[in-house]
Chain A
């Protein structure tokens, strides 16, 4: 019920495809989405693979509730070994791709090998075919999707890469319907396989166990969703709604490559300013009734004609505050270019801000930047650099490697300015003032990420779910909190539930839903156990890739106190970092060096993956 029963394997090297049944036991233990991904990544890879090599996989798995009509639960997950972190890679999006894949008959698509020529994978209700993409190579994500829809049919869903993926930019992403997934370079993995796009059409019925009850629950949750505060915030102003609050009340909005925690020149960046002026309407992920997307259109001036689904909170930080860029039009233009080239805006902005910091400190000069005055606040430079990164031109070629490798290449003390955890540039939470998130950045399986734990709201407001009285400036007792939140969010990524539903469903809200959709009852504990199982699998994968405890460390800038604002003076000390990490390992039942003991794997029913 609501699962299609099959996985499709595609080998691009020998152009062979194969369908395989997914056993009921696998669905029971791992559900779908994140669970299937964690299962297959461990089953198929040993961690030694070259992320750009043919033995890396690209896996796509829709959430369990995709196509169940349950509102705001339409997310799909991508997986691969990440070229940015050399470890676990995953990305979630709300494009229609997952729905199409399920209707084509699959709960997972696994792509291996490498095509000799640029290709695209066509799946039309099953019947996979590998076709030439010579005429698409080099084209933008939008153009690629438009052409494929004309050639194959307008009801196809297209997931594709742009120049960023083709040029193996280590943080290139995959695009579908102008939604993006794949922080950590999953788009580059696709590019390394010379796979330009995947076009899917599916017409199969998606069944549910109790249709009347599912419809009733859909209507019930719909009402709760549209009456929530989150609905008001997201539909009126988008994900950046809290930007002003974050700056003024918390002072934890990373600015100018993490020099400061307050972006004084944020007037235009604030959605309260730009939504009335530039947003034409709301845009949504598939199946979502609380649309946070905004149809941003620039009708005149220098960037006339710019059109995108944006600008998200993270991008307001990355291409705005992190670069000292006060111009919303320049941010939007740079955002649009990232979408067209298929680049992750967070890492792109992280790299540009990093380069600006180096320039201002004399480590990079005009000779290195090709004549660009690469100072913070140079809006035009932000736009220009996105293009240079996608095309790997000049300094763009170095920045395309991510801040960690760029710092190694540049040398001259650049490492002090590189802000990353295990190679992943962090999102817009200045963790010097949000200590639980500092831990979350260290423990997230894909490097510095806020969504794996989703603990930012808890830390910033002090309460969420079963936790209250949490002090963001304290590093005490954060181990269990972050471990619990990671298990919580892994459940969401199995179900395809959107984390921006905030405190609506929590976990117990899904018990009735799952019973009606798949005909089986899962209690909150059952679901969290699955979440724990998946989090352990992801970490196990990282260990196989060579993860060591010393890699889970914060960058040098986290030792420098935030200079001004509501979190003035706050920083994370070496002692706090050590304590929080040990606390977390203890909460997880792992050893002091972060390895997972066999007993834990047996307890979770995944000892078959044990490898010392």
Chain B
């Protein structure tokens, strides 16, 4: 079972296909703002991938910050329940990795594609800049 997605920014080409398939899989539309991974172009040849690492490099600050119990953990996967989420933004401010963000009144983050257990972003990253770590 996937524990988290490891990033290799030095391999990221900036194609942002990961954002597109993530939002399409989860929300049936293409919209990078709804993706659980965000790519930022830092320079001419530099990119960075913002994506939650589910506790590998944090202390679950988002869960701590959420006063509504909208952020849950199941089998090591931290995910947001949009039915409960009020879009207050406390989690986005608390996250030390800038891996949670608000859009359209809800918080979005990586859930390791828990619906079928196969992270889509990794599947379309031809440069292996994203790696599933078990």
Please give the residue numbers on chain A whose beta carbons come within 8 Å of chain B beta carbons, in ascending order.
67-69, 71, 74, 96, 99, 103, 142, 154, 177-178, 203-208, 211, 214-215, 218-219, 222, 225-226, 231, 235, 280-291, 293, 295, 297, 307-309
With A69-B17, A154-B40: A203-B33 Cβ-Cβ less than 8 Å: yes
Known: A235-B127, A307-B44, A309-B44. 17 other contacts (CB 8 A): A67-B30, A69-B30, A178-B44, A203-B103, A203-B104, A205-B29, A205-B31, A207-B28, A208-B30, A215-B25, A222-B123, A231-B126, A281-B13, A281-B45, A284-B13, A288-B15, A308-B44
With A208-B30, A211-B29: A289-B45 Cβ-Cβ less than 8 Å: no
B10 interface residue per 8 A CB criterion: yes
B24 interface residue per 8 A CB criterion: yes
Interface contact A289-B44, CB-CB below 8 Å: no
Complex Cα spacing A293 to B41, Å: 15
B96 interface residue per 8 A CB criterion: no
The 22 listed contacts between A and B (C-beta, < 8 Å) are A67-B20, A68-B20, A177-B41, A204-B31, A206-B30, A207-B29, A208-B24, A208-B28, A208-B29, A211-B28, A215-B24, A218-B21, A219-B123, A222-B126, A284-B15, A287-B16, A287-B17, A288-B15, A290-B126, A291-B13, A291-B15, A295-B45
Give per-residue flags for B93-118: 1 if the beta carbon is below 8 A from chain A beta carbons, else 0.
00000000001100000000000000
Residues in A neighbouring B31, C-beta threshold 8 A: 103, 203-206
Interface contact A291-B124, CB-CB below 8 Å: no
B14 interface residue per 8 A CB criterion: yes
Give per-residue flags for B33-47: 1 if the beta carbon is below 8 A from chain A beta carbons, else 0.
110000011011100
Interface contact A287-B15, CB-CB below 8 Å: yes
Name which residue of chain B comes closest to A178, CB basis: B44
B11 interface residue per 8 A CB criterion: yes
Residues in A neighbouring B28, C-beta threshold 8 A: 207-208, 211
Interface contact A307-B124, CB-CB below 8 Å: no
Interface contact B45-A218, CB-CB below 8 Å: no
Complex Cα spacing A235 to B15, Å: 13
Interface contact A222-B124, CB-CB below 8 Å: yes
Nearest Cβ on chain A to B71's Cβ, whole angstroms: 23
Interface contact B13-A282, CB-CB below 8 Å: yes
Interface contact B14-A283, CB-CB below 8 Å: yes
Interface contact B24-A211, CB-CB below 8 Å: yes
Interface contact A289-B17, CB-CB below 8 Å: yes
Residues in A neighbouring B27, C-beta threshold 8 A: 205
With A69-B21, A218-B124, A295-B45: A206-B14 Cβ-Cβ less than 8 Å: no
Please give the residue numbers on chain B whose beta carbons come within 8 Å of chain A beta carbons, in ascending order.
10-17, 20-21, 24-25, 27-34, 40-41, 43-45, 103-104, 120, 123-124, 126-127
Residues in B neighbouring A74, C-beta threshold 8 A: 15
Complex Cα spacing A71 to B126, Å: 11
Name which residue of chain B comes closest to A219, CB basis: B123
Interface contact B44-A142, CB-CB below 8 Å: yes
Interface contact A235-B16, CB-CB below 8 Å: no
Name which residue of chain B comes closest to A287, CB basis: B17
Residue in B17, B29, B123 with the greatest tally of chain A CB atoms within 10 Å:
B17
Nearest Cβ on chain A to B4's Cβ, whole angstroms: 22
Interface contact A283-B30, CB-CB below 8 Å: no
Interface contact A69-B45, CB-CB below 8 Å: no
Name which residue of chain A comes closest to B44, CB basis: A307
With A208-B30, A211-B28, A283-B14: A219-B45 Cβ-Cβ less than 8 Å: no
Complex Cα spacing A295 to B123, Å: 23
With A69-B17, A218-B21: A289-B124 Cβ-Cβ less than 8 Å: yes
Complex Cα spacing A248 to B43, Å: 37
Complex Cα spacing A291 to B41, Å: 16
Name which residue of chain B comes closest to A222, CB basis: B124
Nearest Cβ on chain B to A305's Cβ, whole angstroms: 11
With A222-B123, A280-B45: A69-B15 Cβ-Cβ less than 8 Å: no
Nearest Cβ on chain A to B126's Cβ, whole angstroms: 4
Name which residue of chain A comes closest to B126, CB basis: A289
Residues in B neighbouring A96, C-beta threshold 8 A: 16
Name which residue of chain B comes closest to A292, CB basis: B13
Nearest Cβ on chain B to A200's Cβ, whole angstroms: 13
Complex Cα spacing A281 to B126, Å: 13
Residue in A218, A281, A286 with the greatest tally of chain B CB atoms within 10 Å:
A281
Residues in A neighbouring B10, C-beta threshold 8 A: 280-281
Residues in A neighbouring B124, C-beta threshold 8 A: 71, 218-219, 222, 289
Nearest Cβ on chain A to B42's Cβ, whole angstroms: 10
Residues in A neighbouring B44, C-beta threshold 8 A: 142, 178, 295, 307-309
Interface contact B24-A291, CB-CB below 8 Å: no
Complex Cα spacing A558 to B44, Å: 39
Nearest Cβ on chain B to A289's Cβ, whole angstroms: 4
Nearest Cβ on chain A to B54's Cβ, whole angstroms: 23
Interface contact A283-B123, CB-CB below 8 Å: no
